[in-house]
Structure 1
């Protein structure tokens, strides 16, 4: 009987093993995760869970009983020490697990600050795992002072939750503007104004020089000469793919674990999906750091492990919740040279449409689910309405789908 082993029990790993079973795989399945809990959702960690609006059990993607019911061996709190490709074995310290096919869904880890500038002080947190959020939860109290390093989506989401709980918040972003790496100036402007309206001190073009304190952080020195008193710090400066195991096994690494269009690594018996996997997209090897990609790519890999031979074509979409604003993003804005705004005269909803020449690439929609869905469908259908048509408030947007 064939044995399929999956290393990494996050969204991608959980999706992969479930898809194997629902697709009729009858062999043995082992899912190995480092954390001591079943696979869980990450997006609510820094929002609903941190706010106390979501119980721990509701975070779980499936009840723990699902895995035993589906005859899936779930190994929690377990670290893989090595992969032996020649013998097709996974080593868990002294325990050895043979495999016929192996999938790496090891995800990514939050980048941290160097210890030399105070990154190792108590009270300095990242937002990636359940343990991270549990560790910081007690600091979210009315009147506390938080410094958030990094003005990306993770940092801004944390800022929104902190303000809801009465924390005084300063966000420092070393780049010229918040969201610079992932969004147009128009989207940055929107979210800067949103956070400032809620009392967040947003500092752009300002870096962190050092965190100060003995044992526990008590202050921060910024590159503009400002010194801040702080009670805790949240670091949101990106993530790094967890590719160490793959690298030690001499698999090809290129911006993560390199896979082909089917999700196969440089070893024909090893596959990869999710945040850790890179694939060719728009002329470069890219990773898509999103829940939807983790699910879709993992399910495609599950089918290909069973011989389907299907190419994976991503349909990127993302979201972010901040205060009472839901941002929904469709497509990838890589290479855009023009952005047009569509505004609803009867509501505060707005969407920004990214173009490369005359080609529609992506849409950022703020509290505008209708235009988000239309934009998503247009992009997936390869349709590109003219920018002036999108900007015209009189345009019948639904009619564009039929054009």
Structure 2
């Protein structure tokens, strides 16, 4: 049920797991590969995403599952190995923090000129990069990776939604399985949620790759099933709450609320990135447009230490 909580790693009441049960498409319907039994009733596709790969990184480690992490740990052995991390996004920087904690020498590569470019404005990203540099991390940004042949390579160049079943079913797919505000796909009775789903809002599609968005997507899909079954009322339409994303790396929690990237924060554009706090282990900033705070960034050892996120949606008068 939407909104009901359970302990992570346990199975909620009323849920039955069928592990190792491969699902395929047969004559336009989802069926169990082993028995040929057709799945009935409402169906939610939550097939997740697959790490992106390129031929030059075919032998690199990826980090998506617990097995991936175990394989990397086995390859690395004890501390002191050289590691090339390709990709300076959220996953790459979280991996960098963990590898540094374990005593490895890390060099981060990315064609982008700054780290975390899809999550942080440049000023916040530069501050966070400085934290990693003080921990001994080297960066090679703004150029194609030049890898050390003796180092272990970790590829963190993003993910792509796993839409194979959706495509075989003939569902609308565009950088994910396209869904409405209740997780409905283009086929009645089939819903999608999580990293595989792309939410249509007006003429735009949104597919955010973070835990908070995945949880919200799951709630949408479950609500859609209940609404269409007549078991609950459709929620009232209202303006969505400001998007909240977070990451933990280098012993710090990075939190963003609202619009912080892609807002025209470059000089002369319509939004301004204002640094509020910049200390050794704490950083806070806001993005302001037309006198209104549209986004906030907080980095510290504890979440949102000064409540800067509460400023989002309010006039900026400091």
Normalising by structure 1, we get a TM-score of 0.68
Q: How far apart, CA to CA, are the structure 1 residues paired with 2:45 and 2:91?
A: 25
Decide whether the 8 Å contact of 2:177 with 2:198 is kept in 1.
Answer: yes
Question: Which of 120, 131, 138 matches 2:58?
Answer: 120
SS in 2 for 1:306: helix
Q: 1:181 and 1:318, CA in 2 relative to 1: closer, same or farther beyond 3 A?
A: closer
Q: Tell me which residue corresponds to 2:247.
A: 320
Match of 2:119 among 165, 175, 182: 182
The residue that corresponds to 2:211 in the other structure is 291
Match of 1:156 in 2: 93
| CA-atom RMSD in angstroms | 2.7
Deviations 1:193-234 (A, max 9, x none): 1111011111111212xxxxxxxxxxxxx2xxxx62433111
Aligned-residue offset at 1:292: 1.6
Structure 2 residue 278 is matched with structure 1 residue 331: no
Q: Does 1:384 align with 2:314?
A: yes
Relative contact order higher in (CA < 8 Å, ≥ 6 apart): 2
Higher helix share: 1
Give structure 2 stretches of 5+ with no counterpart: 228-232, 266-271
Question: Which residue does the alignment assign to 2:65?
Answer: 129
How many residue pairs get aligned? The number is 302
Alignment-derived partner of residue 264 in structure 1: 184
Give the one of 289, 294, 306 matched to 1:361: 294
**Range that drifts further, 256-265 or 292-301:** 292-301
- Aligned residue runs from structure 1 range 3-402, under 5 A: 19=1, 61-63=8-10, 66=11, 70-82=13-25, 85=28, 89-114=30-55, 117=56, 119-121=57-59, 124-138=60-74, 139=76, 141-208=78-145, 222=146, 228-281=148-201, 284-307=204-227, 308-310=233-235, 313=240, 315-333=242-260, 334-337=262-265, 338-343=272-277, 348-367=281-300, 369-370=303-304, 373-375=307-309, 377-379=310-312, 383-386=313-316, 389=317, 392=318
How far does the alpha carbon of each residue in 1:226-276 deviate from its partner, in whole angstroms, 9 at most, with x for none?
Answer: x62433111111110111110111101122110112111101211111111
TM-score (norm 2): 0.85
The equivalent residue for 1:11 is none
Q: CA distance change for structure 1 residues 276 and 150 in 2, over 3 Å: closer, same or farther?
A: same
Report the Cα distance in structure 2 between the residues aligned to 1:348 and 1:143, rounded to whole angstroms.
25
